[in-house]
């Protein structure tokens, strides 16, 4: 870690409790000169140091604090530890002159003075997410999802920052130098896919897109006096995409019954006619509102869902945010989705009887759970989904090489409690337990080589639906994994079948043989 005298020592198996999706380690400082050890961190996997080995900072998982050490104090037998108690700090970066330690956060840029040992919020972008863009990082150890690195920033040059205003859906880039800021790219609702900055000429090149604009290559001249005209479009892609210019999108803000603040993206059909009613497809997967600036390319996506294809086929598309809470993954998801749909109940152009729900992976689990609780949807599509969370909890994941219970207790499922301590919570959030309550047709799909969510999960739900005489079709792809692959024949097949499924149940476009075969009951 930047020193020829001191090394970090830890045992990769000693603290492996199998409960965390990422390992945490008891970390010691090893002095190569006198072959002594000194404890630094009791449970950490995020360590950052200076390039010359003077300072090291690590996040203590058990305490929820960053711990800072001056390694030169160890040579004097006066170990110096500083506990940084401010919450929400992430991705520490040392100044190359060892004067400051900077932290990114969702509440502006923070600066810790290494000499005075004082923390100061710099007042830059307070209430907004800040990322340091031009730091130099050297990775020392990255196994087991750990991140041990050297990370520095040269304050002799301006610090380039990305500022994200999530509340107002705005992104900007600024230079920060000696407590002064200079706007490089003013706040924009465009999604900035890439940025290159030539500090010598003052030119910035960016690739930007939006839901109604294909990617454009821009040049910003930071030394240009007329702020309104310093951006120049150099190249515009998608010139033949005339339809996208008139595409309409709304960003809805609302709360669920737990008063959690949420957002949802509503896309209007291509060639929208305000005198007509349209069906709607709702797609779910945790938080999606950050994708509002993504240019929708018509394609056969690997999970069978493509916004643009649905819009071109005459559907509204709604992407509601989902945020989990102490009630459990499924119950919270159901509440969030219902709260989003409630915002659209009085929309004059949405046919409330022709709404479909779809999701893949975690979104598939959410779809299955909601299908067992709701009468609001006319049809469902669910892919590569967990359906029996109790069985999944007690499984070993060969894709991630971990026990799946860690994904519930400290991972994506956010149940945050062992099954043994709250079995009722798991049962209440388990789709398979109420499979007989599914009231609308459901299309299931899975890749038979999926090692993330094994296909027996899909087959169990299919079996339960079949046993209870529920309308269901399962599509199983023998040579595919958790998704069906970009540009594969299987992806094309799934996308086309999904469009036929929605057409059949949301637009009354019947006479589809593969659906008719399963849905039309003989007399």
Secondary structure of 259-272 in the HEC alphabet? CCEEEEEEECCCCC
Closest C-alpha to 277, from 378, 347, 345, 357: 347
User: Quick one: tokens of 314?
Assistant: 């005459």
pLDDT of residue 223: 61
* Sign of the CA dihedral running 447, 450, 453, 457: positive
pLDDT of residue 58: 96
Q: Which of 196, 213, 240 is the last residue of a domain?
A: 240
Same domain for 9 and 126?
yes
Same domain for 428 and 503?
yes
Res 93 pLDDT > 80: yes
Q: What is the pLDDT of residues 152-162, one digit of tens each?
A: 999 999 999 99
- Residues 174-186 have a mean pLDDT of 88
User: Quick one: tokens of 218?
Assistant: 């821009």
pLDDT bracket for residue 80 (50, 70, 90): confident
Same domain for 121 and 215?
no
CA 175 to chain centre: 27
Same domain for 41 and 134?
yes
> What gap in Å lies between CA 202 and CA 220, rounded to an integer?
8
Domain of 227, in residue numbers: 158-240
Q: Which of 156, 173, 204 is the last residue of a domain?
A: 156
User: Quick one: tokens of 158?
Assistant: 């301006």
Q: What is the pLDDT of residues 261-288, one digit of tens each?
A: 999 999 999 999 999 999 999 999 999 9
> What gap in Å lies between CA 41 and CA 513, rounded to an integer?
63
Residues 6 or more apart whose Cβ sits within 8 Å of residue 290 = 166
pLDDT bracket for residue 14 (50, 70, 90): low
Same domain for 225 and 299?
no
> What gap in Å lies between CA 411 and CA 111, rounded to an integer?
30
Q: What is the pLDDT of residues 105-121, one digit of tens each?
A: 999 999 999 999 999 87
User: Quick one: tokens of 139?
Assistant: 């990775």
> What gap in Å lies between CA 231 and CA 53, rounded to an integer?
43
Count other Cβ atoms within 10 Å, centred on residue 478: 9
Mean pLDDT score across all residues of the chain: 92
Q: What are phi and psi of 497, to 5 degrees?
A: -65, -35
Closest C-alpha to 306, from 450, 142, 495: 495
Strands 442-447 and 472-477 come out as: parallel
CB 163 within 8 A of CB 192: no
Same domain for 302 and 390?
yes
Q: What is the pLDDT of residues 408-430, one digit of tens each?
A: 998 999 999 999 999 999 999 99
CATH of the domain at 483: 3.40.50.1820
Per the structure, how many domains does the chain have? 3
Same domain for 59 and 195?
no
The H or E element spanning position 425 is helix 423-428
Q: Rg (Cα) of the chain, in Å, rounded?
A: 26
- Residues 18-47 have a mean pLDDT of 87
Residues 6 or more apart whose Cβ sits within 8 Å of residue 481 = 447, 449, 450, 451, 452
Residues 6 or more apart whose Cβ sits within 8 Å of residue 365 = 329, 330, 359, 385, 386, 387, 389, 431
Using CA atoms, how far residue 458 sits from 176, 476, 482, 503, in Å, is 52, 9, 12, 23
- Residues 71-83 have a mean pLDDT of 81
Query: According to DSSP H, which parts of 59-163 are helical?
Result: 72-75
Spatial strand order of the sheet with 213-221 comes to: 191-198, 203-210, 213-221, 231-236
CB 213 within 8 A of CB 189: no
CB 61 within 8 A of CB 24: yes
Same domain for 406 and 504?
yes
pLDDT of residue 355: 98
> What gap in Å lies between CA 403 and CA 19, rounded to an integer?
8
The beta-strand segments (E) located in 348-438 are: 350-360, 379-383, 396-397, 402-403
Same domain for 351 and 392?
yes
Strands 379-383 and 442-447 come out as: parallel
Closest C-alpha to 391, from 457, 310, 442: 457
Res 224 pLDDT > 70: no
CB 439 within 8 A of CB 407: no
Res 21 pLDDT > 80: no
Same domain for 164 and 150?
no
Q: Which of 178, 211, 240 is the last residue of a domain?
A: 240
User: Quick one: tokens of 366?
Assistant: 């959410």
Same domain for 388 and 317?
yes
Same domain for 112 and 204?
no
Selected residue with higher pLDDT from 223 and 467:
467
């Amino acid at each position: 870690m930047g020193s020829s005298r001191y090394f970090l020592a830890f045992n990769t198996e000693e603290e492996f409790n199998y409960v965390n999706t990422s390992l945490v380690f008891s970390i010691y400082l090893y002095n190569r000169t006198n072959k002594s050890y000194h404890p630094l961190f009791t449970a950490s996997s995020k360590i950052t140091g200076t390039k010359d080995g003077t300072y090291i900072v690590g996040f203590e998982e058990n305490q929820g604090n960053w711990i800072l050490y001056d390694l030169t104090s160890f040579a004097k037998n006066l170990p110096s530890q500083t506990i940084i108690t401010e919450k929400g700090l992430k991705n520490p970066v040392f100044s190359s002159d060892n004067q400051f330690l900077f932290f990114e956060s969702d509440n502006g840029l923070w600066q810790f003075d290494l000499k005075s040992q004082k923390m100061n919020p710099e007042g830059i972008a307070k209430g907004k997410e800040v990322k340091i863009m031009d730091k130099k990082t050297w990775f020392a150890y990255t196994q087991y999802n750990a991140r041990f690195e050297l990370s520095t920033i040269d304050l002799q040059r301006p610090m380039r920052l990305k500022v994200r205003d999530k509340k107002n859906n705005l992104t900007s880039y600024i230079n920060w130098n000696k407590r002064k800021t200079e706007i490089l790219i003013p706040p924009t609702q465009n999604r900035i896919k890439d940025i290159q900055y030539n500090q010598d000429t003052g030119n910035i090149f960016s690739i930007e897109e939006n839901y109604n604009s294909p990617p454009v290559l821009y040049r910003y001249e930071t030394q240009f006096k007329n702020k309104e005209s310093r951006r120049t479009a150099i190249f515009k892609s998608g010139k033949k995409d005339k339809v996208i210019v008139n595409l309409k999108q709304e960003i809805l803000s609302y709360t669920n019954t737990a008063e959690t603040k949420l957002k949802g993206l509503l896309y209007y059909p291509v060639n929208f006619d305000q005198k007509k009613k349209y069906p709607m497809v709702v797609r779910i997967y945790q938080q999606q509102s950050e994708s509002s600036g993504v240019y929708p390319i018509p394609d056969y996506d690997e999970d069978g869902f493509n916004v643009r294809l649905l819009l071109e086929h005459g559907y509204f598309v709604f992407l509601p945010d989902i945020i989990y809470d102490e009630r459990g993954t499924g119950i919270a998801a159901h509440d969030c989705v219902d709260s989003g749909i409630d915002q659209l109940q009085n929309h004059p152009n949405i046919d409330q009887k022709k709404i479909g729900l779809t999701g893949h992976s975690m979104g598939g689990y959410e779809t299955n759970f909601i299908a067992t609780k709701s009468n609001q949807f006319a049809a469902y599509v669910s892919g590569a989904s967990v359906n029996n969370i109790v069985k999944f909890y007690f499984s070993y994941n060969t894709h991630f090489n971990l026990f799946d219970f860690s994904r519930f207790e400290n991972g994506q499922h956010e149940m945050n409690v062992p099954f043994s301590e709250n079995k009722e919570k798991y049962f209440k959030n388990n789709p398979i337990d109420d499979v007989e309550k599914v009231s609308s047709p459901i299309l299931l799909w899975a890749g038979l080589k999926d090692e993330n969510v094994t296909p027996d999960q899909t087959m169990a739900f299919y079996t339960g639906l079949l046993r209870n005489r529920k309308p269901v079709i399962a599509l199983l792809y023998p040579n595919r994994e958790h998704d069906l692959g970009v540009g594969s024949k299987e992806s094309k097949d799934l996308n086309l079948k999904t469009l036929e499924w929605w057409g059949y149940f949301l637009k009354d476009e019947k006479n589809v043989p593969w659906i008719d075969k399963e849905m039309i009951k003989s007399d």
